[in-house]
Chains A and B, each alone.
Chain A
Amino acid sequence: MIRLDAERPATFCDGHTRRDFLHAGALAPLGLTLAGLNRAKADGARDGDVNCIMLFLVGGPSQLDTFDPKPNAPAEVRGPFAAAKTNVVGTQISEVFPKTAKHADKFSIVRSCYHTATAVHDTGHQMMQTGRLFAGGVEHPHVGCALGYLKGGRGELPPHVLLPKPIGRTGGNLPHGHAAGYLGKTHDPFILNADPNAPGFKVPDLLPPDYVTGVRAERRQKLRDAVDGGTAAFEGSGAAKQLDDNFALAYRLMSSAKAREAFALDKETTKTRDRYGRTRFGQSCLMARRLIEAGVRFVTVNMFETVFDEVTWDIHGSRPFTDIQQMSREVVPNFDNAYTALLEDLSERGLLSNTIVVALGEFGRTPKINPAGGRDHHPGVWSILIGGGPIQGGRVVGESDELAWAPKTRPVSPGEVAATLYKGLGLDPHKELPGPQNRPIPMVDYDRKPVAELF
């Protein structure tokens, strides 16, 4: 039997299979969702559990031109920007982030992230979202999906929401790690699939199409109640009960003022919306704040959908990519606005104390500027920002060498980043989940520990 309350739901390869969780009728994953539902902690976001917003800086920001400036390095490494003071004594970041510099007490910088896999975007996406490189056909769950799997949703809201869309094509033709992987589709994030900055923005499928007017919606409900009348065959069927429960949940989601509100950016003042920036990323960050406030546990915001058709952090210099200068003009202010607006907003609403905000990319960039005026992929070392919840602000963990080529002290692997998030979220990072072929898989490898210096 599956013991949802057991300390380790899948201790060994017997019985506790992924399939059990998928097919065990009433005990299936929905059970978890419903458990969340029944808990009915209306003001979920404040139930003591820690939430998380992950800002994925798709493309891979240059460590040198962002949060690990090397003012004393040769010009071809140092780059065009100076290092600037922040409101934390002794911590400097690149001068192009003036707003972020004023909030450096709210987050810590890990300057020694690295990975050793192939230097394509996709591998980094996998590792930074799941803590692992996918191998042997095993797809590991995103941190937010594992959280949702273990804790369920609060009220009618899904536990993990992904804004605005999953990461698309980035060249490696590998999965990007945004989903629940071996935990099964039921635990995939709720994906917005729309641009919250677009005029007339609406959440697809959340509300009936325009032509289904209130009158029709009511009639449909009435008709289906009549159709579903009394079919005795469905009593005692776990599968039918699951369907009924999900329809009920869908109706609650559709009809819940709270859920609708969470997605309704037009409830925000023009000033607030402008403060986040009128960009897809800015408005997604604003929506992330609304969702956390409404009870969502984990929100992933992808800053870009691909690295090919947009100006991103992927600054190779040559077409179709961008160079350092264009990045500083378009990408950096977008982040600087939205990220600081989010920190300020969460802080003012008292949510930063139980919401981790992590901003990370999939790798860093080559220290030496290439002939096209850009920098190429370099997973040898890069920096991430993390704060909020139990994570201390104002610290710098690890350092890179003088050329920002490799970690000099305290190297931090993607597994350790994931372990840090799990610990911050109040979970044992080494808890075993039921993997493929019934194999218990710890969420993070046993030898990957949380970064203690951040707590």
Chain B
Amino acid sequence: MRLSSSLLLLAVAAPAPAGELRVHPAEVALSGPNRTQQLLVVEEDGGRVVADHTAAATFATSDAAVAKLDGARVTAAGNGEATVTATVNGRTAAAKVAAHGMDGPPQWGFTNHVEPVLTRTGCNSGACHGALAGKGGLKLSLRGYDPEADHFALTRQALARRVDLTNPADSLLVKKGARLVPHGGGTRITEDDADFNLLKDWITAGAPGPKDNDATLVRLEVFPKAALLKPKEKIRVIARAVYSDGTREDVTRWAKFGSSEELVAGVTEDGVVTVAGSGEAAITVNFGTRVGTVTVTSPYPNTVHANVFADAPRANFIDDLILKKLELLRLPPSEPCTDAEFVRRAFLDACGVLPPADEAKAFLADPDPKKREKLVDRLLEKPAFVDYWAYRWSDLFLVSSRKLPQPAMWAFYRKVRQSVADNEPWDRFARDVLTANGSNLAVGGGNYFVLHKDVAQLAEATSVTFLGMSIGCAKCHNHPLEKWTQDEYWAFANLFSRVGLKNSEKAGEVLVQSRTDGEALHLRRGTAMPPTPLDGKPLPADSPTDRRAYFVDWLTAPDNPFFAKAIVNRVWRSYMGRGLVEAEDDLRVSNPPTNAELLDALAADFVKNKYDLKRLMRQILTSAAYQRSSKPLAGNAADDRFYSRYLVRRLPAEVLLDAYSDLTGVPTTFNQVKSAAGDSTTPVASYPAGTRAMQLPDSLLQSRFLEAFGRPERVATCSCERTGDASVAQALHLNNGVTLNDKLRDAKSVVTAWVGGKGLTDAEIVDRVFLAALTREPTAAERKNFLDILADAAKDGPQARREAVEDFVWAVLTGREFLFNH
């Protein structure tokens, strides 16, 4: 113990200079009395902080009349400029300090100071006064999105007792906050600390309210940007706001910190990060309506020779970028998968079917070194590919008879299916759907508007579907932890306010058309915001331009920052088992990708190649990353997000059910459609015998199996609808339920043929089932084991043999090697 702590001290006292010593921020701007700035003194290497020396550094100021020092904290003392120098073990680094506005009393604004204090202390949180109904008679806007209303509540309501201008210390605001009088919310600020004094100073100054010319928050600077550290190492994160009038302010003490991966790095509420494990974490910093992140990387404790990465197979840029990340994290990539693993995996991922035995055999026997690429090309042209991706996109677009009458549902499905069959470029498809005009039965994409009739719902669904982002929180208040404000939400929603729907005389037919009038009114302001795409340019309110067309032009412009990434991430997740951003439709600053460079490159490549989905899929399927074995190495077993191996995943509900039908030779019947509430069913005759689950256009076809295994209900646009979870109900159903047991017992099942007159031997059955279900031969031990069991049963006659064969097939088809793609 003593030894290790002295080693630790030694390490701190004499660090090997790994890089450059720097002070953050390099330019300090202080704009008034009491304004301070925390400094960071760090060692940087290749743009990443590798050590925090702030605690060990000594500081000196060139002019104490301008910049006073208290440890690593600079306080403005007078107008002017100065230099602060930090010294660590004889090395120095400096920061410039400029102070102004020192002539009057402290100036604290309501929007930029009082609101952040109320937010940081939790006063305006959803559980306290930020609740819709307020708390204890005081209602504040959630996290301060409505400063005017909050100022009114604090200075006018409750007989104006909340602020006492003549005796500020007597104000309820500070007395309740510090619990000098009873307060149901407890102690939120400490008497005489900085925030207590800020509130008091603000009241002393007359409790000024928000003004139209208040400086607005332009951006949030976060220091450092990235860090490369080892477990137990710490680093402080500081945040600085940049306002529209050019002032900068240290807002670290009001910011809210969070970690995307607390198992990798945790962060205290004051912004001190401690590395806890290996991997990568994003530390998010929220202040006002802005979000910043710090990437903290902590390599795995492996020793991996550089050759491992240099010599690893590479097919295209995907591999370069993944291996770069793996090398940084010291994660060795698993071996390439075998041909047998590849053929099963690629069929399941691209087409949702198991490889037919003859195709699998031919592929395994083929000596062509290019056979994997060629197989990928064939898969992308198979009819099952169309079934599979039409189903996936129907999930995304909520194709279902829940809200659409049968003919409309079919029209929508046909549109989606045709688009997949034609490999329609994704931008083209988006435009087709979002600018659909005319009859929803003739122009299937128009049903998108029939499904989302409410303008807010339409805006939110469009955001999730095409931008991979949820903006719903901002409908009622600024997004609590994202940058989207309520104003931006309603400006975005107003793009969708001019869609006209008219029922025709034909049953189920709706005419969709663009209108020349109509506005979406801001929920709080009651007025229309200029129609504006997210982070885009507004369309003048009086412009005659079709708002949908304006939106789609923005959406599909090559420089749109969200559109390509959203779809690339969806496709990537489907093939790689985990999105670069997870969940796949949760793209936001505070949820950064595990490999940002790769997502950028994939999106850029996708745009450059005209939004060609098959090309994107081909690139992924042919990459060495996709073709890695799922068997973990000692060094990468802990990795589930950097693609050092193929991630195993349970087969989707529809794939499983179709596989059971195919392997037993007994198709599944779909002849009942559920009501929208799911509480009754009606017979339906649209699905002839042999229809596959993956060919169903409608999510309401009755099937206990599909429901138990997580078929999406297509109610809400959310990838969370499909669950790959295993549950006890699934296990019970596989064991004891009718789906598989009845198929095996069926007179038409393959088992009947195998044990009949010109049937198969036990050995042939075992080999055939293994090839068809697992795409491999049984090992010698496995074969012997199964043959023994089957032979033993056969002694009791043909019926007993049949039962044993059923049991054998059952065991293979419920085993995890079958249930998983690997």
Cα–Cα, bound, A246→B724 (Å): 13
Cα–Cα, bound, A15→B264 (Å): 14
| Contact B720 A205, beta carbon cutoff 8 Å | no
Q: Which of B258, B473, B677, B731 contacts A173 (CB 8 A)?
A: B677
The stretch of A85-93, A184-192, A324-332, A366-374 that contacts the partner chain: A184-192
* A312 → chain B closest CB, angstroms: 15
Residue A28, interface by CB 8 Å: yes
Q: Which of A174, A232, A236, A242 contacts B677 (CB 8 A)?
A: A174
Residue A226, interface by CB 8 Å: yes
- Which residue of the partner chain A has the closest CB to B718? A436
* A387 → chain B closest CB, angstroms: 30
Residue B811, interface by CB 8 Å: yes
| Contact A238 B640, beta carbon cutoff 8 Å | yes
Residue B284, interface by CB 8 Å: yes
Cα–Cα, bound, A29→B133 (Å): 32
| Contact A170 B679, beta carbon cutoff 8 Å | yes
| Contact B817 A249, beta carbon cutoff 8 Å | no
When distances are taken between beta carbons in the complex, the residues of chain B under 8 Å from A176 are: 677, 679
Q: Which of B479, B481, B729, B816 contacts A231 (CB 8 A)?
A: B816
When distances are taken between beta carbons in the complex, the residues of chain A under 8 Å from B680 are: 168-169
* B470 → chain A closest CB, angstroms: 4
When distances are taken between beta carbons in the complex, the residues of chain B under 8 Å from A226 are: 782, 785-786, 811
Interface size on B, residues (CB 8 A): 86
Contacts known (A207-B736, A236-B637, A432-B127); A15 close to B260, Cβ less than 8 A: yes
Residue B177, interface by CB 8 Å: no
When distances are taken between beta carbons in the complex, the residues of chain B under 8 Å from A430 are: 127
Q: Which of A14, A28, A166, A168 contacts B481 (CB 8 A)?
A: A14
When distances are taken between beta carbons in the complex, the residues of chain A under 8 Å from B263 are: 1
| Contact B677 A240, beta carbon cutoff 8 Å | no
- Which residue of the partner chain A has the closest CB to B709? A185
Cα–Cα, bound, A122→B731 (Å): 31
Q: Which of B131, B472, B640, B728 contacts A246 (CB 8 A)?
A: B728
When distances are taken between beta carbons in the complex, the residues of chain B under 8 Å from A30 are: 725-726
Q: Which of A190, A228, A250 contacts B731 (CB 8 A)?
A: A250
* B525 → chain A closest CB, angstroms: 21
| Contact A122 B723, beta carbon cutoff 8 Å | no
Interface size on A, residues (CB 8 A): 84
Contacts known (A223-B807, A226-B786, A254-B732); A239 close to B481, Cβ less than 8 A: no
Among the interface residues B590, B648, B732, B819, which one has the most CB atoms of the partner chain A within 10 A?
B732
| Contact A239 B820, beta carbon cutoff 8 Å | yes
Residue A220, interface by CB 8 Å: yes
Residue B789, interface by CB 8 Å: yes
| Contact A216 B803, beta carbon cutoff 8 Å | yes
| Contact A437 B470, beta carbon cutoff 8 Å | yes
CB contact list, A1-29 vs B, under 8 A: 1, 3, 12-15, 17-19, 22-23, 25, 28-29
Contacts known (A175-B677, A209-B741); A185 close to B284, Cβ less than 8 A: no
Cα–Cα, bound, A28→B631 (Å): 23
Residue B676, interface by CB 8 Å: yes
Contacts known (A176-B677, A253-B728); A233 close to B804, Cβ less than 8 A: no
When distances are taken between beta carbons in the complex, the residues of chain B under 8 Å from A175 are: 677-678
When distances are taken between beta carbons in the complex, the residues of chain A under 8 Å from B591 are: 14-15
Residue B157, interface by CB 8 Å: no
When distances are taken between beta carbons in the complex, the residues of chain B under 8 Å from A29 are: 725
| Contact A440 B732, beta carbon cutoff 8 Å | no
Residue B247, interface by CB 8 Å: no
Residue A319, interface by CB 8 Å: no
Contacts known (A246-B728, A437-B472); A227 close to B817, Cβ less than 8 A: yes
CB contact list, A202-247 vs B, under 8 A: 204-209, 211-212, 216, 219-220, 222-224, 226-229, 231-240, 242-247
Cα–Cα, bound, A189→B786 (Å): 38
| Contact A219 B710, beta carbon cutoff 8 Å | no
Contacts known (A22-B723, A122-B677, A234-B822); A239 close to B650, Cβ less than 8 A: yes
CB contact list, B784-812 vs A, under 8 A: 785-786, 789, 793, 803-804, 807-808, 810-812
* A203 → chain B closest CB, angstroms: 9
Contact with A along B40-62 (1 / 0, CB 8 A): 00000000000000000000000
Residue A438, interface by CB 8 Å: yes
Cα–Cα, bound, A186→B728 (Å): 9
Residue B458, interface by CB 8 Å: no
When distances are taken between beta carbons in the complex, the residues of chain B under 8 Å from A173 are: 675-677, 679
When distances are taken between beta carbons in the complex, the residues of chain A under 8 Å from B737 are: 204-205
Contacts known (A137-B716, A169-B680, A242-B726); A233 close to B648, Cβ less than 8 A: yes
CB contact list, B247-291 vs A, under 8 A: 258-263, 284
| Contact B736 A12, beta carbon cutoff 8 Å | no
Q: Which of B260, B675, B741 contacts A212 (CB 8 A)?
A: B741
* A73 → chain B closest CB, angstroms: 36
Cα–Cα, bound, A229→B774 (Å): 14
Residue B733, interface by CB 8 Å: yes
| Contact B820 A250, beta carbon cutoff 8 Å | no
* B474 → chain A closest CB, angstroms: 10
CB contact list, B449-479 vs A, under 8 A: 457, 470, 472-473, 479
Q: Which of A22, A204, A237, A442 contacts B720 (CB 8 A)?
A: A22
Extra pairs beyond A175-B677, A227-B782, A246-B730 (6, CB < 8 Å): A17-B583, A236-B632, A237-B647, A243-B820, A436-B720, A438-B473
Q: Which residues of A contact B (CB under 8 A)?
A: 1, 3, 12-15, 17-19, 22-23, 25, 28-30, 33, 122, 136-137, 158, 166-170, 172-176, 184-186, 190, 204-209, 211-212, 216, 219-220, 222-224, 226-229, 231-240, 242-247, 249-251, 253-254, 306, 430, 432, 436-440, 442, 446-447
- Pull 7 A–B residue pairs with CB atoms less than 8 Å apart, ordered by A: A15-B591, A19-B582, A19-B719, A185-B725, A237-B647, A446-B133, A447-B133
Q: Which residues of B contact A (CB under 8 A)?
A: 126-127, 131-133, 135, 258-263, 284, 457, 470, 472-473, 479-482, 582-583, 586, 590-591, 629-632, 637-638, 640, 647-650, 675-680, 710, 715-716, 718-720, 723-733, 735-738, 741, 745, 782, 785-786, 789, 793, 803-804, 807-808, 810-812, 814-820, 822
